[in-house]
Amino acid sequence: MSAMLAFFTRHSHRHRTRLRRPVRIPDEAPSTDAIFIVIRRMRSPLVFITTVFAISVLGLSIIPGKDANGNATHLSPFEAFYFISYTASTIGFGEIVPFTTAQRMWVTVCIFMTVVGWAYAIGTLLSLLQSASFQDAVAMQRFRRKVKRIREPFLIVCGYGQAGRQVCRELDEAGRRFVVIDSHDGRVERIATDELESDVPALEADASLPSVLGMAGLSNQYCEGVLALTDDDTDNLAIVMATTLLRPGTSVIARCMDRVVEERMDDFAPNAVINPSDRYGAYLVLALQRPATYNLVKWLMDPRDDAMPKPLQPKPGGCWVVCADGEFAEEVTSDLERAGMNVTVADPKDGHPDVSRANGFVVGTDNDTTNLALAEHAKIARSDLFVAVRQQSDARASLVSALAIDSVFTPTELVAQESLARVVTPLFWSFVEYAVQQPNEFAEGIIARLTAHCGHTGKERMLVDLSAQGSPALHRWLLHDELTVGQILKSSDGRDEHLPLVPLVLVRNGEHIFAPDESTTVTTDDHLLVVGHRSGLVALHETQYSDAAAEYIATGAHVPETWLWRKLKRHRPAA
């Protein structure tokens, strides 16, 4: 248990030991002005057209014509300019005065020269509009404008792969604003087809560059955090460095697969570094030692609206076989051995390992097909074997479900779940950290309360702010009377009915009270984190703002809700 405690809390008590020099956050990028690119690319066509126009006007002014009496005459420079203007633009009003043959020959030459000039200019313009540099400049300027228009707290999500995409989808459903940066071709374009509710500013650029983070709003007063979820650990390290150095105090959560890079990130004191391989090993040990705790934590963090699964029942102790490669094998083996397991590591290239005497089997190659084949063979060899499988891509999730695997490890899913738990409701993550430190009976008690009030479904979370701004009706009541947690969770339609909600954390003056008893008294400015069905959250929201509902749940008295009805009831004669 001490190893588990150290694992989940090792990122919580970091502090900076060096002073930082204040530096302006850069937000400039070279060649990002679309107008400048247009002028630069269209310079030659415009010079050509201007030259043709000037020569045409000059020639038409010099070539003599004849008036009605046959006398030689010349067009004035303005008349020549006027004629060439509507001729070169293909309008063609006709001759000002009848031209001579020489003048008409010159006009013919001018027409062909201007047509060539216009063709050259239009061709260059079409080529410019299709060029990557111009499109990037337009996209960047549009991105800048969208970011500057944000007037509410937002997050910068770096990386729109599987983890980033899931995080963005859940943030959007939670009503949170965010900005997306990704350097891979095509990923940013997915945002338009993902049917997100909000208009998400997105840019295809290298998020590891400080100037790109600056353009994404790192210096914006509404930026409340950065999520470094790219596929490259070095890029994530650069994002952590830029965020902590350029804007100290800003929340930053990073994904990292390499232990060495993770240690380098730790020096910059991010809020969290999520190594999915290391995390999964800890969760696996948690499932072995305290299955109820594992079941509760994983179910609450999973954004899918699934019923609470039955607790895993792996055989404790005994021999475990880990058939994996790379750092995943090292991390899982290390965690299992620290938990007192006898672990045998098998190379996937050597074929099917012997699992006849094993209690558990962990398979984790980089290929999903190979993992499923190894898992199926192990199940055939021993039907009661506990099997854990690493799933690289969600494309084969249906096959994993059909195979009835005991424990599935999807790195991107784990990263997304922990990131969301930290940023959507930070207080919820403090509950997770507390729960994994407690004995199994603590989780069993929470599960029993959830089952009693919510059944096996319903895990939406809401933070109830009992201040005058967050819950005006409840706050007004608390100024002169008492309320308990249990009373707040009563239905305003009937005090005997308990809302399908369970309290997880009560915060008072910075102190956290986990799983508070329903008899606990609340005070003004307390914060209460509850979990349960959406219907319960809607009903609780009504209680927060209705004085009549607040008085009813506290006393049971039905109070008229409108001023007129209260007046009529006050002056109504007694029967």
Which pLDDT score, from 0 to 100, does residue 73 have? Answer: 83
Question: What three-state secondary structure class fits 228?
Answer: strand
The answer to whether 531 touches 427, Cβ cutoff 8 Å, is no
Q: Tell me how far apart the alpha carbons of residues 476 and 111 are, in angstroms, rounded to a whole number.
A: 83
Which pLDDT score, from 0 to 100, does residue 195 have? Answer: 83
The answer to whether 393 touches 161, Cβ cutoff 8 Å, is no
Six-digit token string for 20: 């930082």
- Tell me the average pLDDT across 204-233: 93
If asked whether residues 415 and 462 sit together in one domain, one would say no
Tell me if 250 is assigned to some domain. yes
Tell me if 135 is assigned to some domain. no
Which pLDDT score, from 0 to 100, does residue 178 have? Answer: 95
Confidence of residue 83 (pLDDT cuts 50, 70, 90): confident
For residue 521, give every residue at least 6 positions away whose Cβ sits within 8 Å of its Cβ, in sequence order, or none.
482, 483, 484
Q: Tell me how far apart the alpha carbons of residues 385 and 359 are, in angstroms, rounded to a whole number.
A: 6
Closest CA to 29 of 223, 213, 226: 213
Confidence of residue 92 (pLDDT cuts 50, 70, 90): low
Which pLDDT score, from 0 to 100, does residue 397 have? Answer: 83
Please report where in the chains the tokens 């009529």 appear, as a residue. 568
Q: What is the pLDDT of residues 142-198, one digit of tens each?
A: 899 999 999 999 999 999 999 999 999 999 998 899 999 998 878 888 888 888 888
If asked whether residues 483 and 408 sit together in one domain, one would say no
- Identify the top-confidence range among 67-81, 85-99, 269-283: 269-283
Q: Label residue 130 left, alpha or beta by phi (over 0 means left) and psi (-120 to 50 means alpha).
A: alpha
**What's the pTM?**
0.80
If asked whether residues 371 and 259 sit together in one domain, one would say no
For residue 142, give every residue at least 6 positions away whose Cβ sits within 8 Å of its Cβ, in sequence order, or none.
none
DSSP state, 316?
P
If asked whether residues 106 and 241 sit together in one domain, one would say no
User: What does 509-562 look like in DSSP terms, one character per residue?
Assistant: TTEEEES--TT-EE-TT-EEEEEE-HHHHHHHHHHHH-HHHHHHHHH-----SS
Q: What is the pLDDT of residues 320-363, one digit of tens each?
A: 999 998 888 888 999 888 888 899 999 888 888 998 888 899 99
Tell me if 4 is assigned to some domain. no
CATH number at 563 reads 3.30.70.1450
CATH number at 230 reads 3.40.50.720
If asked whether residues 405 and 479 sit together in one domain, one would say no
pLDDT at 471 over 60: yes
pLDDT at 10 over 60: no
For residues 95, 99, 101, 107, the Cα torsion angle rounded to the nearest 10 degrees is: -40
pLDDT at 209 over 90: yes
Tell me if 438 is assigned to some domain. no
The answer to whether 158 touches 207, Cβ cutoff 8 Å, is yes
The answer to whether 258 touches 232, Cβ cutoff 8 Å, is no
State which of 68, 102, 130 marks the end of a domain. Answer: 130
Please report where in the chains the tokens 């020489």 appear, as a residue. 102
If asked whether residues 233 and 344 sit together in one domain, one would say no
Tell me if 408 is assigned to some domain. yes
Q: What is the pLDDT of residues 20-59, one digit of tens each?
A: 677 788 777 655 577 777 888 888 989 998 999 899 899 9
If asked whether residues 310 and 413 sit together in one domain, one would say yes
DSSP state, 77?
H
Which pLDDT score, from 0 to 100, does residue 573 have? Answer: 42
- Tell me the average pLDDT across 292-318: 80
If asked whether residues 416 and 287 sit together in one domain, one would say yes
The answer to whether 555 touches 483, Cβ cutoff 8 Å, is no
Length of the chain: 575
- The residue type of 401 is S
- Tell me the average pLDDT across 86-99: 74
pLDDT at 5 over 50: no
Confidence of residue 221 (pLDDT cuts 50, 70, 90): very high
The answer to whether 435 touches 297, Cβ cutoff 8 Å, is yes
Q: Tell me how far apart the alpha carbons of residues 464 and 461 are, in angstroms, rounded to a whole number.
A: 10
- Tell me the average pLDDT across 393-399: 82
Which pLDDT score, from 0 to 100, does residue 278 have? Answer: 86
- Tell me the average pLDDT across 383-392: 88
Six-digit token string for 407: 């424990």
CATH number at 75 reads 1.10.287.70
Tell me if 441 is assigned to some domain. no
Which pLDDT score, from 0 to 100, does residue 527 have? Answer: 95
Q: Tell me how far apart the alpha carbons of residues 543 and 161 are, in angstroms, rounded to a whole number.
A: 41
If asked whether residues 121 and 154 sit together in one domain, one would say no
Confidence of residue 17 (pLDDT cuts 50, 70, 90): very low
State which of 238, 268, 298 marks the end of a domain. Answer: 268
Terminal CA-CA length for the chain: 68
If asked whether residues 310 and 419 sit together in one domain, one would say yes
Which pLDDT score, from 0 to 100, does residue 532 have? Answer: 92
Q: What is the pLDDT of the chain when averaged over all its residues? A: 86
Higher local confidence (pLDDT), 509 or 4: 509
Task: Give the CA distances from residue 332 to residues 67, 103, 219, 388, 409, in Å, rounded to whole numbers and listed in that order.
Answer: 101, 90, 40, 11, 11
Contacts 24+ apart (CB under 8 A), 12-21: 12/433, 14/266, 14/269, 15/269, 16/244, 16/248, 16/269, 20/245, 20/248
- Give me the domain span that covers residue 357: 279-423
Question: What three-state secondary structure class fits 154?
Answer: strand
In sequence order, what are the beta bridge partners of 386? 360
User: What does 411-429 look like in DSSP terms, one character per residue?
Assistant: HHHHHHHHHHHHHT-HHHH
User: What does 172-209 look like in DSSP terms, one character per residue?
Assistant: HHTT-EEEEEE-STTTTTHHHHTT-SS---EEES-TTS
Q: What is the pLDDT of residues 228-261, one digit of tens each?
A: 999 999 999 999 999 999 999 899 999 998 889 9
For residues 319, 324, 329, 332, the Cα torsion angle rounded to the nearest 10 degrees is: -50
Which pLDDT score, from 0 to 100, does residue 503 have? Answer: 95
Tell me if 232 is assigned to some domain. yes
Q: Rounded to the nearest 5 degrees, what angle is found at the Cα of 272, between the Cα atoms of 20 and 389?
A: 150
Q: Tell me how far apart the alpha carbons of residues 272 and 253 are, in angstroms, rounded to a whole number.
A: 5
The domain total for the chain is: 4
If asked whether residues 283 and 414 sit together in one domain, one would say yes
If asked whether residues 491 and 520 sit together in one domain, one would say yes
Closest CA to 420 of 158, 170, 182, 153: 170
Which pLDDT score, from 0 to 100, does residue 253 have? Answer: 96
Which pLDDT score, from 0 to 100, does residue 424 have? Answer: 86
- The residue type of 486 is G
Higher local confidence (pLDDT), 489 or 13: 489
- The residue type of 162 is Q
Tell me if 3 is assigned to some domain. no
State which of 268, 297, 320 marks the end of a domain. Answer: 268
Which pLDDT score, from 0 to 100, does residue 498 have? Answer: 92
